[in-house]
Amino acid sequence: MKAPALEQGDIFRLHGPAYFTTFGDSLSREQRKALRAIAVCRTAALGGHVDQCDQCGYRKISYCSCRNRHCPKCHGRARAQWLEQRAAELLPVEYFHVVFTLPQLLAPLALQNQRLVYGLLFRAAAETGVAAASVRNYTLAYCAQCSAGRTVGFRWDRPTRFAQ
């Protein structure tokens, strides 16, 4: 697989300082740590080692990885494999994928109060799903997903069957 011409680390190295200046106060400690780790992943900043062929003298420099769980270089393959495994677990039934989003105007509030705002969003989404499923005879399963980071988190609640 050919490496992309531009990677996240390149973007973070180029624009990270300006981004931190503008938005640094609104980022959590974990978000700042992840951005910094991705920026230096597999660069000389983390050190590395040189492999050399004893026959021809060819040298290859390998830099250390950041091992941050949000880094696409470190965990991209594992993430893709995990997604394939989850896709294989899907039931062969018709389903509806419903996405609930916040208006852009609320993004700064959500960033500063993530637990409260996303808790309210998930509660409203669950109540809406229950109301919609009760109109028809649908089985309802919840899947909560927050895509603020690279990971996708799922929480499956007990499926509920509604009578007509």
What local confidence, expressed as pLDDT, does residue 143 receive? 60
**pLDDT classification of 158: cutoffs 50, 70, 90:** very low
Distance in angstroms (rounded) separating the CA atoms of residues 125 and 130: 9
Provide CB contacts within 8 A for 60, sequence distance 6+. 50, 51, 52
Residue 103, pLDDT > 60, answer: yes
Q: Report pTM.
A: 0.52
What local confidence, expressed as pLDDT, does residue 40 receive? 96
